[in-house]
């Protein structure tokens, strides 16, 4: 890119941010009506341009089914807007906090306030949902919002930039360009809060850039989300649900099942059941319109490398179809692939897969899955299948993960009353529903002193009265 164009892009980014910052500092917090109006405009933006968004996302992927985009993205954001608009009045209200006896009849309140300007660095895998769901929370909390879409979804980014500019004032919400220069400069801006969704590797870079400004950061990352199949599980049911969750968006989902731990005696039968379920759902031909393409050539090549490394180390490969390289590659689709005989030394067990490859590993003792998971980074999600409640509760108590779904996959993400967030290498902070409102708010504690309370008068000169009062306070503490 021409240096003059780069400089102009950075100046526009800086100017836009500082205008927002000035407005946020000089204007009163937006009213309930203003916030609801912004959410209503965002809802109208999505509905008015839904078909255009579907087409842009599909073109960016090379192909993605519009139904998949609707289920995984559009309906999710619309539901978030509806829930938030309905609950917003209650969330904005001052919260009563208990007051210690010695300070009565004074009282405590917690006042939710907008932070100011919120930055959102969005990923490519669910570009609509993972861009606009955080924006819903930030707007509801009364903030101004600046969004940097992914460079891997340029058509979607251009459309979002166009539609946001036509719907919002540039001091309410704005979408930036997507070139690398803008991305670097964006993370370095002194936002009042910065949210990043993406890989752990890039998350570390973003966190370091934000740290130079002491900008608080919410990181929604990824990792290797495990599935545990208990001996009490219904294998047919588990296989179908795991197959769907793994192949949704061709596995390009941060909470997709990354690997499965199954009793050794059931391993081969379970692998065949997963293969059969994948075949029923997505067929065996690369032209299947329900099956999504891999986002870019380099990501396709990365998946090929993971598979080749596993095969070189003697993994057993089961594919739902024998791939014809030309046909699959022409559509940039990777055939659903199951691997057994997998070991920890293989690259596929050392990095997040983010594609339609599913390692299935066997275990003998019930304690082995817990030890295996706890020996690795904290996952973003964990899935458990079975009916043995004692075994389930043991896993829940002894593992730490961002979230859990029992007897299904992915579904905890759709719970608007539950927080979505990682832990450790899989992220920090949370959003969704009221949790998102809280993330993008300052909950300011305020104490209102009563004129009838004299316990707080601890002024010198200290004498016997103060000593007696201190003794009373010690007794009350």
Mean pLDDT of 72-101: 97
Give the alpha-carbon dihedral of 267, 270, 271, 276, to 10 degrees.
170
Report DSSP state, residue 431: B
Distance of CA 368 to the CA centre of its chain: 29
Mean pLDDT of 310-320: 93
Mean pLDDT of 287-300: 97
Sign of the C-alpha dihedral computed for residues 203, 209, 211 and 214 taken in this order: negative
The neighbouring-strand residues paired with 405 are 383
The one catalytic residue in 73, 254, 409, 434 is 254
- Reference 271, options 247, 243, 302; nearest CA is 243
Q: Given a cut of 60, is residue 5 above it in pLDDT?
A: no
For 158-180, write each residue's pLDDT tens digit. 999 999 999 999 999 999 999 87
Look at residue 454 in the predicted model and tell me its pLDDT.
73
The neighbouring-strand residues paired with 319 are 337
Contact 99, 445 (CB under 8 A): no
65 catalytic, yes or no?
A: no
Q: Given a cut of 60, is residue 331 above it in pLDDT?
A: yes
Look at residue 215 in the predicted model and tell me its pLDDT.
96
Extract the runs of DSSP E, i.e. beta strands, from 105-209. 107-114, 117-121, 144-148, 173-175, 193-197
Phi, psi of 217 (to 5 degrees): -130, 135
Mean pLDDT of 264-269: 97
351 Cβ neighbours under 8 A, 6+ residues apart: 224, 306
Q: Given a cut of 90, is residue 391 above it in pLDDT?
A: yes
Q: Tell me if the bond preceding 448 is cis, omega within 30° of 0.
A: no
Look at residue 356 in the predicted model and tell me its pLDDT.
98
Q: In what order do the strands lie in the sheet with 441-448?
A: 95-97, 107-114, 441-448
Which carries the bigger pLDDT value, residue 476 or residue 138? 138
> Hunting for tokens 């803008």 — which residue is that?
182
Euclidean distance between CA atoms 120 and 385, whole angstroms: 35
Look at residue 97 and give its three-state secondary structure: strand
Contact 216, 206 (CB under 8 A): no
Look at residue 184 in the predicted model and tell me its pLDDT.
81
CATH of domain 3-221+428-442: 3.40.605.10
Q: Given a cut of 90, is residue 265 above it in pLDDT?
A: yes
Q: Given a cut of 60, is residue 370 above it in pLDDT?
A: yes
Look at residue 3 in the predicted model and tell me its pLDDT.
66
Give percent of the chain above pLDDT 70: 98
Euclidean distance between CA atoms 229 and 362, whole angstroms: 10
Tell which CATH architecture fits domain 226-421.
Answer: 3-Layer(aba) Sandwich (3.40)
Look at residue 284 in the predicted model and tell me its pLDDT.
92
* Beta-strand pair 173-175/193-197: unpaired
Which carries the bigger pLDDT value, residue 320 or residue 451? 451
Mean pLDDT of 214-220: 96
The one catalytic residue in 80, 172, 220, 434 is 220
Q: Given a cut of 90, is residue 270 above it in pLDDT?
A: yes
Domain ranges (residues) in the chain:
3-221+428-442, 226-421
What separation in angstroms does the CA of 359 have from each of 89, 223, 291, 308?
Answer: 47, 14, 20, 13
- Reference 228, options 420, 426, 362; nearest CA is 362
Look at residue 456 in the predicted model and tell me its pLDDT.
63
First to last CA, the chain: 65
Q: Tell me the average pLDDT of the chain.
A: 94
Look at residue 475 in the predicted model and tell me its pLDDT.
83
316 Cβ neighbours under 8 A, 6+ residues apart: 339, 340, 341
Look at residue 459 in the predicted model and tell me its pLDDT.
76
Look at residue 4 in the predicted model and tell me its pLDDT.
59
Q: Given a cut of 90, is residue 8 above it in pLDDT?
A: no
User: Where residue 205 falls among pLDDT bands split at 50, 70, 90?
Assistant: very high
For 126-164, write each residue's pLDDT tens digit. 999 999 999 999 999 999 999 999 999 999 999 999 999
Look at residue 471 in the predicted model and tell me its pLDDT.
82
Q: Given a cut of 80, is residue 16 above it in pLDDT?
A: yes
Look at residue 323 in the predicted model and tell me its pLDDT.
72
Q: Given a cut of 80, is residue 1 above it in pLDDT?
A: no
Look at residue 469 in the predicted model and tell me its pLDDT.
77
The neighbouring-strand residues paired with 120 are 147, 195
Phi, psi of 253 (to 5 degrees): -135, 130
């Amino acid at each position: 890119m021409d240096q003059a164009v780069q400089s102009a892009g950075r100046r526009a980014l800086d100017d836009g941010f500082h205008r927002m910052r000035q407005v946020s500092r000089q204007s009163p917090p937006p009213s309930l009506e203003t916030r609801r109006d912004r959410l209503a405009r965002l809802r109208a933006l999505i509905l008015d341009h839904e078909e255009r968004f579907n087409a842009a996302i599909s073109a960016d992927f090379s192909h993605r089914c519009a139904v998949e985009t609707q289920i995984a993205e559009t309906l999710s954001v619309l539901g978030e807007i509806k829930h938030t608009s309905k609950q917003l009045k209650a969330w904005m209200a001052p919260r009563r906090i208990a007051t210690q006896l010695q300070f009565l009849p004074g009282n405590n309140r917690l006042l939710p306030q907008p932070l100011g300007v919120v930055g959102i660095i969005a990923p490519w895998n669910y570009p609509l949902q993972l861009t606009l769901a955080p924006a819903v929370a930030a707007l509801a909390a009364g903030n101004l919002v600046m969004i940097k879409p992914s460079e891997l979804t340029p058509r979607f980014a251009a459309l979002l930039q166009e539609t946001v500019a036509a719907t919002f004032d540039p001091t309410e919400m704005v979408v930036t360009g997507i070139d690398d220069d803008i991305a670097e400069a964006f993370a370095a801006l002194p936002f009042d809060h910065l949210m990043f969704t993406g890989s752990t590797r890039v998350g570390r870079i973003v966190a370091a850039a934000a740290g130079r400004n002491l900008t608080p950061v919410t990181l929604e990352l990824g990792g290797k989300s495990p599935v545990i199949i208990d001996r009490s599980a219904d294998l047919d049911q588990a296989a179908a649900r795991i197959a769907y969750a793994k192949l949704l968006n061709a596995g390009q989902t941060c909470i997709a099942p990354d690997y499965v731990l199954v009793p050794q005696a059931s391993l081969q039968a379970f692998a065949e059941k997963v293969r059969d379920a994948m075949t029923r759902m997505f067929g065996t031909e690369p032209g299947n319109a329900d099956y999504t393409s891999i986002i870019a050539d380099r990501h396709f090549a990365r998946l090929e490398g993971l598979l080749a490394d596993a095969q070189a180390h003697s993994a057993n490969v089961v594919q739902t179809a024998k791939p014809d390289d030309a046909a699959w590659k022409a559509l940039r689709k990777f055939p659903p692939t199951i691997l057994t005989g997998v070991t920890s030394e293989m690259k596929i067990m050392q990095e997040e897969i983010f594609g339609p490859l599913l390692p299935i590993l066997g275990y003998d003792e019930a304690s082995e899955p817990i030890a295996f998971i706890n020996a690795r980074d904290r996952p973003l999600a964990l899935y458990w299948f079975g009916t043995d409640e004692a075994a389930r509760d043991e896993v829940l108590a002894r593992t730490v993960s961002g979230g859990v779904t029992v007897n299904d996959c992915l579904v905890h993400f759709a719970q608007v009353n539950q927080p979505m967030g990682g832990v450790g290498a899989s992220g920090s902070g949370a959003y969704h529903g009221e949790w998102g409102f809280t993330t993008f708010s300052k909950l300011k504690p305020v104490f209102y002193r009563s004129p009838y309370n004299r316990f707080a008068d601890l002024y010198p000169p200290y004498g016997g009265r103060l000593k007696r009062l201190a003794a009373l306070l010690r007794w009350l503490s």
